Amino acid sequence: MHALIVAAGKGSRFGASVPKQYLDLAGRSVLEHSVKRLNHAEIRDLTLVVAADDERVHSLDFEFAGKIDFAIGGDERWQSVHSGVAHIRASGAGDDDWVLVHDAARPCLPAADLQAIITASHTCTQNALMLATPVVDTLKLAQDEQVVRTVDRQNLWQAQTPQMFRLAALEKVLAAVSEQGLMITDEASGFELLGEAVQVVAGSRLNMKLTFAGDLPLLSLIAERLLADDKP
């Protein structure tokens, strides 16, 4: 099992002067938290995919028991994942190895959620799994700031990471995305577009993504709670 964190983004929606993965969160960078949350006995190594001009990453102090490698990302998310996957393959990974893809901007992955998706992979007969939470809010479709209709939320899930894929299957999907010019927002959507099944593993709402400035105070509280729970 190999972990991959996508950390090459600029965080343009966030609006900070530095990429959001380097913002302070409970005394450490967001990225350091995200790496720490992937500590698990079954995860052999971690590949961090960063921007070519990223110098900050090498000054960080990561808490990760396995080996950490680096790969250079691209302009699009899938290109960054493709780069990381190529590095994992070149390092000797096999076709049926699992690749666990996580967002750098999800620094509060609970240990129970990570364990849930890893445990699910032990019996999964498909090539893809993903953490997700059921949609609980009432959803509205709006145009020009006017509500058009209420969207039925039954059977709707909010995608999270980590997402896990068999290496060979993930390579095939990423190749198709490149060759066909497909638009995907996560790797699971690439599997969907190619008709590949993706198993949903229920996660928690604590595993939220840092997207807007208003998310940071809440994530700070969650991070402090998780750090307290980690102490013996």
Q: Which two tokens stand for residue 151?
A: 């969207």
Separation of alpha carbons 225 and 177, rounded Å: 39
Predicted confidence at residue 18, as pLDDT, reads: 84
> Would the pLDDT of 124 be above 80?
yes
User: pTM for this one?
Assistant: 0.94
Contact present, 22 and 56 (Cβ < 8 Å):
yes
> Would the pLDDT of 56 be above 90?
yes
Separation of alpha carbons 104 and 38, rounded Å: 11
> Would the pLDDT of 14 be above 70?
no
Beta bridge partners of 48: 5, 70
3-state secondary structure of 100: strand
Domains of the chain by start residue, with CATH: 2-230 (3.90.550.10)
Q: Which residue has the tokens 């971690």?
A: 46
Please tell me which residue, 10 or 140, carries the higher pLDDT value. Answer: 140
Predicted confidence at residue 12, as pLDDT, reads: 56
> Would the pLDDT of 194 be above 70?
yes
Separation of alpha carbons 2 and 40, rounded Å: 11
> Would the pLDDT of 10 be above 80?
no
> Would the pLDDT of 231 be above 80?
no
3-state secondary structure of 109: coil
Separation of alpha carbons 183 and 193, rounded Å: 10
pLDDT, the chain, mean: 94
